[in-house]
Structure 1
Amino acid sequence: QYQGIYGYRRIYIYIRLKLNKRVNHKRVYRLMKQLKLKAIIRRKAKRYKLFTPEVTAQNILNRSFNESKKNKKWLTDVTEFKLKNGNKIYLSAIYDLGSKTILSYELSSSNNNQLVFNTLEKAVKQVKNTKGIIFHSDRGFQYTSRSFKTKLKKHKMIQSMSRVGCCIDNGPMESVWGM
């Protein structure tokens, strides 16, 4: 009747609530096993689109998170918040490893390049000399674009990126989102 979608737990609940019968879940499990009835496990569809990065950079930071001087190593990332009304909002921030502070942040209703560009420009305005700052990020589409690489070159910053699928490489920034 249910095309094999229901497992023993759902069948047990159905019998108890809809049919008003007293039955033990172990009995339902045992009977379904004898009849060779199993639930079909459905995989969730992946919601993200694969893309080929235009620009990648070496992991120069290489988990060297100890820094005593400010404006030597900056970390960045974008996180997503789901609002009660069902909409999403995106927060981009730049974190200075030396001073242990957020230098700049930007909120937007869309996750796009402009969000990251605005965050970078706000941070650059606070610092007199950006030459030689290691700018570390994950491999998000905003950070692997040619236009972002051009902006970093303009400010004489060194781009560093986490390895593919290794969120620990950007650990302190992920920790900021955790707080």
Structure 2
Amino acid sequence: MVAWHLSERNDLAFAHETLDRLRQHVNLRSVILHSDQGFQYTSKQFNRKLRQLGMLGSHSRRGNFLNNACIESLFSH
């Protein structure tokens, strides 16, 4: 995990804020951001921001939860 951010809402603003905090500490060029297929990560606005930062978004196919199992376990705590 490179960056994290807490919010009362899991919305698009939350996802954007996390990226903004991340780019303060890390050069994001050519970074691959792997996430689930939540609406905030598949939205046009979020993917536009990824491109502006030089990042590539990555999502697993539907029903494939195993590649996110370790992070989902962390978030459950």
Say yes or no: TM over 0.5: yes
Unaligned runs of 5+ in 2: none
Is 1:155 matched with 2:57?
no
Match of 1:144 among 38, 42, 63: 42
After superposition, the C-alpha distances for 1:115-147 in whole angstroms (9 at most, x for unaligned) are: 1110111111101x2111111000000001000
Q: Once superposed, which parts of structure 1, at least 4 consecutive aligned residues long, lie more than 4 Å away?
A: none
Match of 1:112 among 11, 19, 32: 11
**Could you tell me which residue of structure 2 aligns to residue 35 of structure 1?**
none
Counterpart amino acid of residue 159 in structure 1 = G
Counterpart amino acid of residue 118 in structure 1 = E
Report the alpha carbon displacement of residue 152 of structure 1 after superposing the two structures with TM: 0.6
Q: How many residues align?
A: 77
Distance 1:161 1:171 in 2: 14
Report the alpha carbon displacement of residue 171 of structure 1 after superposing the two structures with TM: 2.6
**Could you tell me which residue of structure 1 aligns to residue 69 of structure 2?**
171
- Higher strand fraction (1 or 2): 1
Unaligned runs of 5+ in 1: 1-94, 96-102
Instruction: State the Cα RMSD in Å.
Output: 1.5
Report the alpha carbon displacement of residue 178 of structure 1 after superposing the two structures with TM: 4.3
- Higher helix fraction (1 or 2): 2
User: Helix, strand or coil: the match of 2:42?
Assistant: coil
TM-score by length of structure 2 reads: 0.85
Distance 2:8 2:34 in 1: 24
Distance 2:33 2:70 in 1: 13
**Could you tell me which residue of structure 1 aligns to residue 23 of structure 2?**
124
Is 1:133 matched with 2:31?
yes
Fraction of identical pairs, as percent: 36
Is the Cα contact below 8 Å between 1:163 and 1:169 reproduced in 2?
no
